[in-house]
A and B are shown apart, each in its own frame.
Chain A
Amino acid sequence: MKNEFQVIAKLIEKEKKVLDVGCGDGILMDFLKTNKKTNIRGLEISKNKVQECIAKGLTVIEGNAEKDLKQFPDKSFDYVVLSQTLQAFLDPELVINELLRVGKKAIVTIPNFGYWRIRLDLLLKGTMPITKTLPDEWYNTPNIHMCSIKDFFHFVKSRDIKIFKSLAINNQNVSIINNKNLAIKNFFADLGIFLIEK
């Protein structure tokens, strides 16, 4: 399981009720169910991925986070997880609000557009950056609202959203982001993980 998921799993205590939004093929769900006795649900837009989850015995609803989160009651989950999909929504702010309404806490991870390799790619080549975490071309990328760790940090602060934990991941290294090291983490991390609450 990728490092990002291991970090997310560490943030979630045992026997909690969790919704994984954009759960993909259910790797994180499966891990939480097996290792943390999590009461886990998934929401996934791809029919094929939903089928993969069903084959793993996971409870998944086929649906779209922008439209289908509204059916869940307020604070009906202890945690709502959104892994690397915020940038693909038409209205990321609406999705963040919905995550924080449905979940007591939300765990959001974002591919960091402030990562040095991305900056360098654009600076030297003058073309839209392509990296391991962002492998698509400009014309076929699902990512229409990219942001950096710094952008997201400022965004949550401006919306009175409480940050419990913000972590930077660079390959296998996980470190804590704070006000002082924000600029550095924004440069060296390719992924940011935020535990937030409203």
Chain B
Amino acid sequence: MNTENNIKTLIVKKPLKLDCGKTINEFPIAYETYGSLNKKKDNAILVFHALTGDQFVTGLNPITKKDGWWSYAVGPDKAIDTKKYFVICANVIGGCMGSFGPSHEDPNTGTAFGTNFPVITINDMVNAQYNLLDHFGINKLFSIAGGSMGGMQVLQFISNFPDKAKTVIPIACTSSHSAQNIAFNELGRQAIAADSNWKNGNYSSAGTIPNKGLAVARMAAHITYLSKKGLQEKFGRKLQEREDLKFGFDADFQIESYLRYQGSVFVDRFDANSYLYITRAMDYFDLAKQFKGNLADAFRAAKAKFFIISFTSDWLYPTQENKDIVIALNSIGADVGFVEIESDKGHDSFLLDVPDFLGALKNFLDKSYIEN
């Protein structure tokens, strides 16, 4: 899925030792920036993307020709105001928008890595992205922010680099992937593996693409991003361009047609092996475990101001899991604010036009920046 054009890339020279034990060298990090870095270099915000996001946060994504995934939140005069802040976002390693990932060529074989790519973790992702701070000569970020897997990266980043961000905004996330989270990810991975075009991950050299498996993975995941109420209100039992049931297995219902569409457009922009690798990284994420079961220890050295946001209808990363992060921070007297936003839009709320959320995000950032 890589198109060299329009993709800014930093080649990281410093070797990176991965959690799996392997070391990667001279690997690419694809990134994008918005706004401009001021002279004091104190207005930078590092945004982390979620499972299927990429570095194209806002405006037109030059590869997919669609709006960036956080267009509601990031841009001139928006919650993350690019007139004021310098926004950086990188494609995670393991991804498929230019950063080092399974679709890259393995120099040993001359074909794509496929499943020979090393298994990566959230920790590896943030360690790789940390190189962008040196690249831009930024000593301390004004903020780090992200939702879902982006929020997990936020937590891991401040744990790894406690003096590198002034404000920290994990949104709709968790400090540890639950059994239910892992179960849904496994469903997606198995759907991909069940596609005969997957070829144990070597579909690139076989000249096939496991489109069907990847589409099913996306369909299943998409349901977890929405709420029951939201789905019922939007689709209910409405029929798709037909007067009555057809007594067959075509998409009779609008919800079926919608999911099929979501699956079909996803395969045009996403790599199946990347989907395996990134969901694995999420499943392996357990920040408390990295600190012998005490989550608070992950944040003990941080001097940052935290702001945690969850959504009422998010059942994928429910409020309680976000609150567990707040509780850990309060137990060490950290500066932490928390709000649960009322929304029917499920986990996806953080990506959508939810005024209470966008307002809180803007107010928190702008007020913190004045006190900066």
- Hey, which bits of chain A sit against chain B, CB under 8 A? 17, 41, 47, 50-51, 54-63, 71-73, 76
Interchain nearest-CB distance for A159 vs B (Å): 26
Write out the residue numbers on chain A whose beta carbons fall within 8 Å of the beta carbon of B335.
41, 59
Interchain nearest-CB distance for A68 vs B (Å): 8
- B335's closest neighbor in chain A, by CB? A59
Q: Is the CB of B338 within 8 A of A57?
A: no
A72 to B326, CA, bound (A): 10
Q: Dominant SS at the A interface?
A: mixed
Residue among A57, A62, A76 making CB contact with B339, cutoff 8 Å: A62
Write out the residue numbers on chain B whose beta carbons fall within 8 Å of the beta carbon of A50.
339
A62 to B336, CA, bound (A): 11
- Size category of the B interface is 20 to 34
Does any Cβ of A come within 8 Å of B32's Cβ? no
- Hey, which bits of chain B sit against chain A, CB under 8 A? 305, 307, 326-327, 330-331, 333, 335-342, 356, 359-360, 363-364, 367-368, 370-371
Q: Is the CB of B339 within 8 A of A51?
A: yes
Write out the residue numbers on chain B whose beta carbons fall within 8 Å of the beta carbon of A41.
335
Given contacts A63-B338, A71-B327, contact A57 B371 (CB under 8 A): yes
Q: Is the CB of B340 within 8 A of A62?
A: yes
Residue among A47, A60, A72 making CB contact with B342, cutoff 8 Å: A47
Given contacts A51-B339, A51-B356, contact A76 B333 (CB under 8 A): yes
Given contacts A59-B305, A62-B340, A63-B338, contact A54 B368 (CB under 8 A): no
A68 to B364, CA, bound (A): 22
Given contacts A47-B342, A71-B326, contact A54 B333 (CB under 8 A): no
Count of A-B contacts judged by CB separation below 8 Å: 56
Q: Is the CB of B305 within 8 A of A61?
A: no
Given contacts A71-B327, A71-B330, A71-B331, contact A61 B337 (CB under 8 A): yes
Write out the residue numbers on chain A whose beta carbons fall within 8 Å of the beta carbon of B331.
71-73
Given contacts A51-B356, A54-B360, contact A61 B340 (CB under 8 A): no
A57 to B336, CA, bound (A): 12
Interchain nearest-CB distance for A38 vs B (Å): 13
Interchain nearest-CB distance for B358 vs A (Å): 11
A73 to B335, CA, bound (A): 14
Write out the residue numbers on chain A whose beta carbons fall within 8 Å of the beta carbon of B327.
71
Q: Is the CB of B330 within 8 A of A61?
A: yes
Q: Which of A51, A62, A71 has its CB near the most chain B CB atoms (within 10 A)?
A: A62
**What are 5 sample pairs from A and B whose C-beta atoms fall under 8 A apart?**
A47-B339, A51-B360, A54-B364, A62-B338, A63-B338
Q: Is the CB of A60 within 8 A of B337?
A: yes
Q: Is the CB of B326 within 8 A of A51?
A: no
Write out the residue numbers on chain B whose beta carbons fall within 8 Å of the beta carbon of A76.
333
Known: A47-B340, A61-B326. 10 other contacts (CB 8 A): A47-B341, A47-B342, A47-B356, A51-B359, A54-B363, A55-B367, A62-B340, A71-B331, A72-B330, A73-B331
A40 to B42, CA, bound (A): 25
Interchain nearest-CB distance for B184 vs A (Å): 27
Write out the residue numbers on chain A whose beta carbons fall within 8 Å of the beta carbon of B371.
57
- B305's closest neighbor in chain A, by CB? A59
Q: Is the CB of B337 within 8 A of A59?
A: yes
Write out the residue numbers on chain B whose beta carbons fall within 8 Å of the beta carbon of A73.
330-331, 333
Interchain nearest-CB distance for B25 vs A (Å): 43
A52 to B63, CA, bound (A): 40
Interchain nearest-CB distance for B127 vs A (Å): 29
Write out the residue numbers on chain B whose beta carbons fall within 8 Å of the beta carbon of A62.
338-340
Interchain nearest-CB distance for A74 vs B (Å): 11
Interchain nearest-CB distance for B79 vs A (Å): 12
A192 to B214, CA, bound (A): 66
Q: Is the CB of B326 within 8 A of A57?
A: no
